[in-house]
Amino acid sequence: MSLSPLIFLCLGLYLPVWNALKITQPYRVVGFRGEVELFCSYHHPGRHEPEELRVTLYQGTYREAKQEVCASSFTHNQTSFQVEGEREARCRGQLAPGRVNLTISGLRGNDTDLYYCGIEVMYPPPYLRTFGNGTLLYIPEEPGCSLPEAQRRSDMGETSVRLALAGLVAASTLMVIPVIAFLLYQVLQRKRRFGGITPMISQNDGRFGYGNFQ
């Protein structure tokens, strides 16, 4: 037997197995307070569950530009994991028959994107690898968590204006008080200076056209 038919025979045995590994993901998932739960269901062609799986979560609109968020392996002895992913994301995973449940936390509004589940069958052979169709993870921006840059600048500007006005009022008050005190002092001094003088009384006996003064 030549080698060519043998090669085609081997490919015919392995290609159906390769194509039989499939991943199913939900179309859309909405997060809550920066956390989202995503499940990746998989169909393995073997009679038994894989003894070792590696699960990787990717982010990106196009598969060519996708970025790895987090990854970990599952075995019969370790069916859960928790890792620190890229940026501030944290991933927790739980393995169930035909399914991997992922919980991603530490997400923000700008993390809204398509996320792909990638599963690799590490053992038993043959080695298999495939990707899901992607899930749109929508992460609502939490109100009050962070203000937009323009709003923060506006608030800082209003605070600066208020502080400047308060300082101007305080300075004006400190300048007016000495002036008022000086004026009151002058008035009191004048009252003391002229308080002991007896006013002149005009007397007229009628004989002259002018009066006598005492």
Tell me: do 28 and 69 sit in the same domain: yes
Lowest mean pLDDT among 77-81, 157-161, 167-171, 183-187: 157-161
Tell me: do 133 and 152 sit in the same domain: no
Tell me: do 52 and 121 sit in the same domain: yes
Q: Which of 138, 168, 202 is the last residue of a domain?
A: 138
Tell me: do 30 and 131 sit in the same domain: yes
Residue 178 lies in a domain: yes
Residue 60 banded pLDDT, cuts 50, 70, 90:
confident
The domain total for the chain is 2
Q: Which of 138, 157, 174 is the last residue of a domain?
A: 138
The structure's pTM equals 0.57
| Coil/strand/helix, residue 124 | coil
Tell me: do 84 and 162 sit in the same domain: no
Given a contact cutoff of 8 angstroms between Cβ atoms, the answer to whether 120 and 52 are in contact is: no
| Coil/strand/helix, residue 9 | helix
The percentage of the chain sitting over the pLDDT mark of 70, rounded to a whole number, equals 65
The secondary element (H helix, E strand) that includes residue 148 is: none
Domain that holds residue 47: 12-138
Tell me: do 41 and 132 sit in the same domain: yes
CA distance 16 to 20: 6
Given a contact cutoff of 8 angstroms between Cβ atoms, the answer to whether 100 and 74 are in contact is: yes
Tell me: do 118 and 42 sit in the same domain: yes
Tell me: do 178 and 84 sit in the same domain: no
The secondary element (H helix, E strand) that includes residue 143 is: none
| Predicted pLDDT at 132 | 92
Domain at 104, CATH number: 2.60.40.10
Q: Strand 135-138 relative to strand 28-30: parallel, antiparallel, unpaired? A: parallel
Tell me: do 53 and 159 sit in the same domain: no
Read off the pLDDT of residues 110-166 as tens digits, 9 standing for 90 and up. Answer: 999 999 999 999 998 889 999 999 999 999 987 755 545 555 565 566 666 677 777
Residue 88 lies in a domain: yes
Average pLDDT, the chain: 76
Residue 125 lies in a domain: yes
Tell me: do 81 and 117 sit in the same domain: yes
Nearest to residue 53, comparing CAs of 116, 128, 132?
A: 128
Chain length of the chain: 214
